Amino acid sequence: GQQLNQSPQSMFIQEGEDVSMNCTSSSIFNTWLWYKQDPGEGPVLLIALYKAGELTSNGRLTAQFGITRKDSFLNISASIPSDVGIYFCAGQLLLSTGNQFYFGTGTSLTVIP
């Protein structure tokens, strides 16, 4: 099936630093989604992007839908310890039989106080 290339696989940063992660695909997606998963919980939606070129912020988080519709990035500014977790990107394809979602392999973020 479809595979999204998400990088980096893991990050270790100092509290206060900015973080950047991205996803690329060989397919064109209609929607890009970014999720965060805490240990023992399900992925929680952070940001949804619906238009090529769209730049959306949610607090310290900023994400962009690439112009080619084949990529997206997520930035976290001034990281804090509670940002620790696994971040997933997902792309949505429009289908006549409903909509299909494809997930990246995740970026594990560790914030060192």
Q: Which residue has the tokens 């997902």?
A: 90
51-110: which residues touch another protein (CB under 8 A)? Answer: 88, 90, 92, 94-101, 103, 105-106
23: CB partners within 8 A, 6+ apart: 4, 5, 6, 7, 32, 71, 72, 73, 89, 91, 104
Q: Which stretch binds another protein (CB under 8 A): 20-28, 41-49, 54-62, 76-84?
A: 41-49
Q: What's the min distance (Å) between Cβ of 113 and another protein?
A: 26
Q: What's the min distance (Å) between Cβ of 67 and another protein?
A: 17
Size of the site for another protein (CB under 8 A): 27
CA atoms 49, 51, 57, 62: torsion sign:
positive
Residue 39 touches another protein, criterion: CB under 8 A: no
69: CB partners within 8 A, 6+ apart: 28, 29, 30, 52
Q: Which amino acid is at 104?
A: G
Q: Which is nearer to another protein, 74 or 79 (CB)?
A: 74
Residue 34 touches another protein, criterion: CB under 8 A: no
Distance from C-alpha of 52 to C-alpha of 11, rounded to nearest angstrom: 27
Interface residue list for another protein (CB under 8 A): 1, 30-31, 33, 35, 40-45, 48, 50, 88, 90, 92, 94-101, 103, 105-106
